[in-house]
Amino acid sequence: MNNTIIFGHQNPDTDSICSAIAYSTLKNKLGHQCEPIRLGLINPETQFVLDYFAVKAPRLLHHVSKEAENAILVDHNEPQQSAIDINEIRIVEVIDHHRISNFESKEPLYFRIEPVGCTATILNKLYKENQIEIDKKTAGLMVSAIISDTLLFKSPTCTKEDIDAAHELSKIAEVSLEKYGLDMLKSGANLKDKTVEE
Amino acid sequence: MNNTIIFGHQNPDTDSICSAIAYSTLKNKLGHQCEPIRLGLINPETQFVLDYFAVKAPRLLHHVSKEAENAILVDHNEPQQSAIDINEIRIVEVIDHHRISNFESKEPLYFRIEPVGCTATILNKLYKENQIEIDKKTAGLMVSAIISDTLLFKSPTCTKEDIDAAHELSKIAEVSLEKYGLDMLKSGANLKDKTVEE
Ligand SMILES: [Mn+2]
Ligand SMILES: [Mn+2]
Ligand SMILES: [Mn+2]
Ligand SMILES: [Mn+2]
């Protein structure tokens, strides 16, 4: 049994999947025992990202409390967006960029919300604060999350921090933001269209 | 009118007063317009600290919403421990080390809770993350907050991070943790005794 599982919200988007993987990687490099998991199906855009960087999708779980002692939430903080049995596991950390709602803790925890466009932008800071280098695959997942959440910097929630992080990460991942970013966003859109047509 | 006011909880302790001042100093060095304020009387221990480092007590306010556009909460997050009219001001940041309870935000904000013994321990990290040097007086206020909240490292909430931060800060502040710390804790205790006797 893993000590700690890390997951994003139900109906996971690219940020929820990629940030769970990227934060697990950081925590494990710092000596923890973490596993990223997911609470729902991988969408076509996220599948494009995982294929591109040759990364396996996290395990799918609906109930989490029997799987680990501790949970870390990324990309969400509201219990109603989380695992069904979220109240039966100890939440030790939350890393998110959404408004705070209905979150209650019995004990102090590490709870870090920042008003930026994507969870991965906060993770980029956490890697730096912990002086851990980001490997190429992880940088690829992180830049994809930022492209997805900010619609390649076009969403109103996008901040200068997101743009700066995406540029840094795209260099490490060796992808062009323009070319890769559009291909990625299109892959999600195209496949969605197909499903509608079929 | 100041852009942003920073304050700790009602019935402020040394951490609530000193962290409000120390975080204002950091924010102002980063180009913001912040003023520390307080929601209650200065206790004898805190007065000892302010006198020792020749720092003026923040302004006393009960209502905050007419005083500034934005609020930053330190050393608390529960609305019922905050200003009477806390729901009428925009909270842009929370820096705290307590459990999370009843906090709701309409928008994303900078919300940073860490499971350490004192708010000033988190501020020490924020100074580093922003690459701002801590001046002698501010270090004095911060080390005093840690001594107070951890009872000179004896409280069960004290962590290695608190101890390390206190040692770093005591050097900058040019105080001996043993000598200054005990004098400070005694000053609070003595004066409390006197009040009881009188
Ligand atoms: Mn999301
Ligand atoms: Mn997100
Ligand atoms: Mn306090
Ligand atoms: Mn405190």
Tell me, what's the ipTM?
0.86
Please report how many Cα atoms fall inside a 13 Å half-sphere around the Cα of residue B14, on the Cβ side.
28
Asked if B15 contacts B166 with a C-beta cutoff of 8 angstroms, the reply is no
Span B153-166, pLDDT tens digits? 999 999 999 999 99
Q: How far is the CA of A74 from the centre of ligand 2 (A)?
A: 8
Structure confidence by residue, pLDDT tens digits, A151-180: 999 999 999 999 999 999 999 999 999 999
Q: Would the pLDDT of B194 be above 80?
A: no
- The torsion angles phi and psi of B68, rounded to 5 degrees, stand at -165, 165
* C-beta atoms of B106 and A98 within 8 A: no
Q: B29-60 pLDDT, tens per residue?
A: 999 999 999 999 999 999 999 999 999 999 99
Report pTM.
0.91
pLDDT at B190 over 90: no
Contacting B with CB below 8 Å, chain A residues are: 97-116, 125, 129, 157
**Residues from chain B contacting residue A114 (CB–CB below 8 Å):** 108, 110-111
Q: What is the mean pLDDT of residues A131-145?
A: 98
- Rounded Cα distance between B175 and B194, Å, is 26
Show the tokens assigned to A93.
């950390």
Specify the long-range contacts of residues A95-100, CB closer than 8 Å, at least 24 apart. A95/A19, A95/A23, A95/A119, A95/A122, A95/A123, A95/A126, A96/A122, A97/A121, A97/A122, A97/A157, A97/B108, A98/B108, A99/B104, A99/B105, A99/B106, A99/B107, A99/B108, A99/B109, A100/B100, A100/B103, A100/B104, A100/B105, A100/B109, A100/B111
Partners of residue A99 in chain B, C-beta under 8 Å: 104-109
Nearest CA of chain A to the CA of B51: how many Å? 32
- pLDDT tens for A1-20 read 569 999 999 999 999 999 99
Centre of ligand 2 to C-alpha B125, Å, is 25
Q: Count the neighbouring beta carbons within 10 Å of the beta carbon of residue A13.
A: 19
Residue A58 has pLDDT above 80, yes or no: yes
Q: Which residues of A are annotated as a binding site for Mn(2+)?
A: 9, 13, 15, 75, 97, 149
Ligand number, closest to the Cα atom of B157: 4
Hey, what are B37's tokens? 């304020």
**Average pLDDT for chain B:** 94
pLDDT, mean of residues A44-52: 98
How far is residue A142's CA from residue A132's CA, in Å, rounded to a whole number? 15
Task: Indicate whether B195 pLDDT > 50.
Answer: no
Say whether B105 and A107 touch across the interface (CB within 8 A): no
**Do the chains contact at B101 and A101, CB–CB below 8 Å?**
no
pLDDT at B196: 43
Which pLDDT value is given to residue A196? Answer: 43
Flag if B115 and A129 touch (Cβ within 8 Å).
no
Q: Taking 50 as the threshold, does the pLDDT of residue B198 lie above it?
A: no
Nearest-CA residue of chain A relative to B106? Answer: A99
Task: Test A110 with B111 for CB contact under 8 angstroms.
Answer: no
How do residues B84-110 score in pLDDT, each as one tens digit?
999 999 999 999 999 999 999 999 999
Centroid of chain to Cα A16:
4
DSSP B82: S
pLDDT in tens, B61-79: 999 999 999 999 999 999 9
Mean pLDDT of the A56-67 span: 96
- Is residue A191 over pLDDT 80? no
Residue A95's pLDDT band (cuts 50, 70, 90) = very high
Q: Check whether A147 has a pLDDT greater than 60.
A: yes
Buried b / exposed e over A135-170, threshold 16 CB at 10 Å, is eebbbbbbbbbbbbbbebbeeeebbebbbebbebbb
Q: Is the pLDDT of residue B171 over 60?
A: yes
Q: Tell me, in angstroms, the distance from the centre of ligand 1 to residue A159's CA.
A: 16
- Which of A100, A107, A157 shows the shortest C-beta gap to B111? A100
CA dihedral B92, A99, A164, B3 (to 10 degrees): -10
Q: With an 8 Å Cβ cutoff, are A103 and B103 in contact?
A: yes
Distance from CA of B147 to the nearest CA of A (A): 19
